[in-house]
Amino acid sequence: MQAILDRDGRCCVWCSRPLDVGDRALTFEHVVPRLKGGPAWAENEVPACRTCNRQRGHTAPSAWLEERAGRGLRPRRDVVERALLDLRDAIAERGGQRRARPYLARELRRLGLE
Ligand SMILES: [Zn+2]
């Protein structure tokens, strides 16, 4: 938990709301949803406030970045992009994750990262 906050910063990736350990609003969520085959790895987890996490549901990260920005919030696009790239590298190294691969590739294309 602490390591993820150190890596990503102490705020929600979707709205920039400040968050820290012990804060009831702090959650960690999967950038590639578990439902879409996203692994329970640190590379796939980012800090998010409870509100953004709940409202996002299984929305794709690229679409959710757009949605949040459209509401005048300040999503941390750089952190989400870095998570997707790190996850891609981790999967390449460790193998497996056959369901997550095409989803991840599509998201990287949508974000102009591939
Ligand atoms: Zn938020």
Q: Counting beta carbons within 10 angstroms of the beta carbon of residue 7, is it exposed (0 to 12), middle (13 to 18) or buried (19 or more)?
A: middle
Put simply, whether the predicted model's pTM sits higher than 0.85 gets the answer: yes
Q: What is the mean pLDDT of each run of 10 residues along the chain (114 residues)?
A: 96 97 96 96 98 97 98 98 98 96 97 94
pLDDT given at position 48: 98
pLDDT given at position 114: 85
Cα-to-centroid distance, 90 and ligand 1 (Å): 26
| Residues 39, 36: Cα–Cα separation, whole Å | 9
pLDDT given at position 41: 97
Cα-to-centroid distance, 29 and ligand 1 (Å): 11
pLDDT given at position 34: 95
